[in-house]
Structure 1
């Protein structure tokens, strides 16, 4: 990639990160191009769709969540690993308003630019859940799709201004419902400060 093209791409991603954190994933591509100081055609040459832009923007974070799950599988008890990972995924979703809806849509759409990253995150969560289930610390009547759906629902809820202040409490309620071996107080203690 030419130096000027790389500079434009980097500028677009930097502006997109700031705009998405402030205004969410629904920002118009035209407005984003204007804020980045490039033409719409330049933006679309680098990122032909909103999903392609967000895939580039979020890929590092989603890959880090996948890697975190891998680390937790070998370094932490099964129930605590699931709690920590769940909490980090919700925190990630909170940092980009509207991104959870894009992830939910991409989750089952192989044509989406976000599909591979979302599939990897989904698979990581499913592995952590299965490990906790095999140790008897998580509900046996749910699977990775259920876990992803709960994360998606929680991500949507905490995206709403009226529910955002209750995010920690909502995480506590959902993780308490998933785990069978811990009391509500144990779940709250394990997820605090993560």
Structure 2
């Protein structure tokens, strides 16, 4: 968030939140190359206001990703108390795979953030990864997931499901089929 050293004025905070909400909608419709002018127009602000909050397209996408990563971390924490460790892991992975598919091009940006320790997103990404790791370990300790499954591999698989489905938009069941294969491959035999 901009100006993290000092609190935002109420109107600036409203503009920021409105811009993020409209960016989610526009990027969902048009992909990560969406028109920034359209985002500003829908938010009811000028393009200068958008650029004050998000100086680049990457900054806007990072804000969307940071929001997503923080939500995935919170969801993982919520699922840690579930009675079914395997079901909890699957629910979390499904949210990653299906949520990433919402924005065309986001899967690649998400995978890049998972690797770049210098990225502004890394802290949020690290929290999300830690939540997923805890769910995976819990499912492994319950004997439900193969012991050789590595946390980063499982995240890559979920991201690859979204990327593959993105490449075949005419096959509406591809995402679900691929996700089922990933889940089946994680189960202990």
After alignment, is 69-78 or 48-57 more displaced?
A: 48-57
Instruction: Please name the residue that 1:165 is paired with.
Output: 173
The yes-or-no answer on 1:43 pairing with 2:50 is yes
The yes-or-no answer on 1:129 pairing with 2:136 is yes
Instruction: Please name the residue that 1:66 is paired with.
Output: 73
- Give the unaligned 5+ runs of structure 2: 1-7
Indicate which of 174, 184, 188 corresponds to 1:176.
184
RMSD, aligned CA: 2.3
User: 2:77, 2:22 → 1: CA distance?
Assistant: 31
Instruction: Please name the residue that 1:138 is paired with.
Output: 145
How many residues are treated as equivalent by the alignment?
Answer: 181
The correspondence of residues 4-19 of structure 1 with structure 2, limited to 5 A, is 4-19=11-26
Instruction: Please name the residue that 1:92 is paired with.
Output: 99
Provide TM-score, normalisation by structure 1: 0.79
User: 2:9, 2:78 → 1: CA distance?
Assistant: 37
User: 2:97, 2:180 → 1: CA distance?
Assistant: 12
- Give the unaligned 5+ runs of structure 1: 182-194
After alignment, is 65-74 or 52-61 more displaced?
A: 52-61
The yes-or-no answer on 1:152 pairing with 2:159 is yes
After alignment, is 13-22 or 56-65 more displaced?
A: 56-65
